[in-house]
Amino acid sequence: MTHQINKYQRAKERNIMRHYPTIIMRIICIAFVLLFFCVPCIAANRLVIGKSQGDKQLAEYFHDQTMKLSEKCLRNIKSLEDWENKRLKYRKQLFEMLSLDPLPEKTDLKAVITGTVEHEEFIVENIHFQSMPGLYVTGNLYVPRNIEKPAPAILYVCGHGPTKKNNISYGNKVSYQRHAAWFARHGYVCLIIDTLQMGEIEAIHHGTYRYDMWWWNSRGYTSAGVEAWNCIRSLDYLQTRKEVDKNRIGVTGRSGGGAYSWWIAALDDRIKAAVPVAGITDLQNHVVDGCVEGHCDCMYIVNTYRWNYPIVAALVAPRPLLISNSDKDTIFPLDGVVRVHEKVREIYRLYDADDKLGLQITEGPHKDTQELRIHAFVWFNRFLKGENPLIDTPAVPFFEPEQLKVFDELPADEKNTKIQESFVPTAKEPMVPKSDAQWEKQRKAWMKMLRKKSFRGWPRPSQVVPLDMKCVFSVEREGIQLSAYDFTSQPHVRLRLYLAHKARLKNPEVARLNVLDEQRWTKWLNCMRFGFKDELSDQKSKYQKPDMNNYRRMCERLLTFTGAVAYVAPRGIGPDAWNSNERKQVQIRRRFMLLGQTADSMRVWDVRRAIQALRTIDTVGEAPVSLQAKDKMAGIALYASLFEPDITSLDLVNLPITHLNGPTFLNVMRYLDMPQAVAMAAERSQVRLIQDSDLGWQFPQAVAEKLEWPDEQFQLHVLNDYPDFLLNYIPDNGRF
């Protein structure tokens, strides 16, 4: 198939160039004015997520956490030796946070050329290869005509620019073909590849916020990792081509392609020059200013090690790097881009390589403009060719989508559409330990991984603030004493703990802490409002009508119960509920991940702090503490018990059997799942599971039997109808 440039096309090019500005440096001044005046206004409007007290506290929390990570970023790098000592460690961490540790095996690419398209200056090969068996990468290889020796090459990675006709995807390589054509017309081999989401085989980038696949976080999976891996294998493919000079390979792309340019340039030294366009900014923009709401999951690492993004940029040093952006880009705001550049410039200066780092700011929105392209062309000419010719030819498309299509029929063995289910291996089913020593070794290994990989976002011991307990009220009615205490879990996270018991109770036998989700908070509040309306008038719930019947039942049990019962709703629930808008809730959860946390992992921390607070109350004294919770909150309570001493028992109702169903903790499924956590808890506390089935709990049962733990250490009760009193009121002495 042949495509010739006609006279009309040449006239069109000349017309474009006539109106194309050749000098744009003057707009940098405008850009910096916008930096200091426009962008802060945008950020201020995005800071408060909602109007409630919970929302205000959350916004303050996100700001505080973000600033701490920003201040920490590259702070201790004072010399080149400091950086070199850190660089390999950082790169290894980046591989891990991109779901690439362990690195997949480099299997046969099985590259296939399915067709060619001819232009008078270059030839396009429509190709596909498999970055791993069944994971297909579709692309076009643009090769200049009459190459006499190996030429420099460009890997072009595409942003979100799908091309579809009649429900057939032609890939985003079609949308960005003008870039590849320009490179080929100027002596470069250029491989332009489709992305996972918008390729000819349409897979998923938007797992968490569009499809509720929060288990991506628990599995340590990000679609950014697949894009990074496909880029690595693309370099492998380019190095098989005789037309390519293996020592002169660059990478560029914009938006999503800008992000993928960052990943591959930071991970792989085969990239000798990079121009990421509109693909990076810092945590302040993403978390505080709300830019996360404009991005899909493919833009983000699983931030296990709590990075800010200048570290990614610094890993490219001292290779030539041009950071390219426009001044009115709302999802990569100018102030954040400048902050990244300022941080990474410090690293380039350590190498005495200032001349290899550039910052290009053009006027315009988040758009693929000619002004952005021309500087990329200049940069690659300078560092891959050692030339500086006048850029007098625009980047224009030449082909119809049909000409660049790779597959006539999609392969039946493709794994693209389900790659999230296998790309990151989960922990293998563990063997039942044969001895106490073997169990202790396994338990210590799991706990170590939980601290390092799942709960790294918790405050370090030196960062833990005082509880600052304040008694809000303590009143007696109908023989029942109800008290409320406010305590600090973290800075900007102030929670309320309620304690109920029969009046004048001394030396309670047990203090039972109920961990409430929104549904059980509503039930409890509406019950208690019947007897304590005035004291609870400031608290909100979905149903405002007091529940007399349950209140009477609760009183009956409390009056005969020899212990105290406490209630806490972790952050974002009940008294401190966040914005109830579903979309906002999703974006709040994503913000936590960007900070190297999850909402659920920080709720585990809240429960730990509630246990500590409970033990400071005089009424509780030395009473043993037990925990009760239901559904996903049962998982929160379970993990809290692993990190707090002397939890006498756990009553867990409808505990999810796997983290696929929650709660969500970063990376947890790479090391263990819920049955293993139950076994660890059962070694320390009496664990009673109340489930609708006994399936899936063989591991803790087998461990308890093999290690000859007392029968009461692990009990599994199968009930089709969970009695409410187990969660919201008073247990009947542990009988079910």
* Cα distance from N-terminal residue to C-terminal residue, the chain: 76
Q: Is the pLDDT of residue 39 over 50?
A: no
Are 492 and 433 in the same domain?
Answer: no
Q: Which residues contact 178 (CB under 8 A, 6 or more apart)?
A: 395, 396, 397
Answer for the pair 391, 185: CB distance below 8 angstroms, yes or no: no
Domain contains 60: no
Rounded Cα–Cα distance for residues 118 and 116 (Å): 7
- Residue 543: predicted pLDDT: 61
CA 513 to chain centroid: 31
Return the CATH number at 161: 3.40.50.1820
Q: Is the pLDDT of residue 732 over 70?
A: no
Are 215 and 323 in the same domain?
Answer: yes
pTM of the model as a whole: 0.91
183-227, pLDDT tens digit by residue?
999 999 999 999 999 999 999 999 999 999 999 999 999 999 999
673-686, pLDDT tens digit by residue?
999 999 999 999 99
Average predicted confidence (pLDDT) for the chain: 91
Helix locations, 48-154, DSSP H? 53-72, 80-97
Last residue of a domain, one of 623, 645, 673: 623
Are 473 and 451 in the same domain?
Answer: no
Letter string b/e over residues 552-568, b meaning 16 or more CB atoms within 10 A of that residue's CB: ebbbeebeebebbbbbb
Domain contains 53: no
Mean per-residue pLDDT for 692-698?
A: 94
Are 477 and 552 in the same domain?
Answer: yes
89-144, pLDDT tens digit by residue?
999 999 999 999 999 999 999 999 999 999 999 999 999 999 999 999 999 999 99
Q: What is the largest CA-CA distance in the chain?
A: 97
- Residue 466: predicted pLDDT: 98
- Residue 38: predicted pLDDT: 36
Q: Which residues contact 560 (CB under 8 A, 6 or more apart)?
A: none
Domain contains 247: yes
Are 479 and 406 in the same domain?
Answer: no
Are 376 and 468 in the same domain?
Answer: no
Closest CA to 173 of 157, 152, 196: 157
Are 258 and 403 in the same domain?
Answer: yes
Are 594 and 682 in the same domain?
Answer: no
Are 612 and 682 in the same domain?
Answer: no
Mean per-residue pLDDT for 13-36?
A: 35
Element (H, E) at 630: strand 625-630
Answer for the pair 513, 649: CB distance below 8 angstroms, yes or no: no
Domain contains 54: no
Looking at per-residue confidence, does 28 or 693 come out higher?
693
Domain contains 646: no
Are 481 and 451 in the same domain?
Answer: no
Looking at per-residue confidence, does 18 or 575 come out higher?
575
Rounded Cα–Cα distance for residues 141 and 125 (Å): 5
Q: Specify the number of domains making up the chain.
A: 3
Domain contains 64: no
- Residue 550: predicted pLDDT: 86
Are 258 and 109 in the same domain?
Answer: yes
Q: Is the pLDDT of residue 29 over 90?
A: no
- Residue 49: predicted pLDDT: 56
Domain contains 713: yes
pLDDT interval class at 580 (50, 70, 90): confident
Q: Which two tokens stand for residue 76?
A: 């201790």
Rounded Cα–Cα distance for residues 378 and 307 (Å): 31
DSSP string, 515-539: E--HHHHHHHHHHHTTT-TTTTTT-
284-324, pLDDT tens digit by residue?
999 999 999 999 999 999 999 999 999 999 999 999 999 99
Domain contains 61: no
Are 135 and 260 in the same domain?
Answer: yes
- Residue 142: predicted pLDDT: 98
The single-letter code of the amino acid at 507 is: N
Q: Is the pLDDT of residue 736 over 50?
A: no
- For residue 492, give its domain range: 464-623
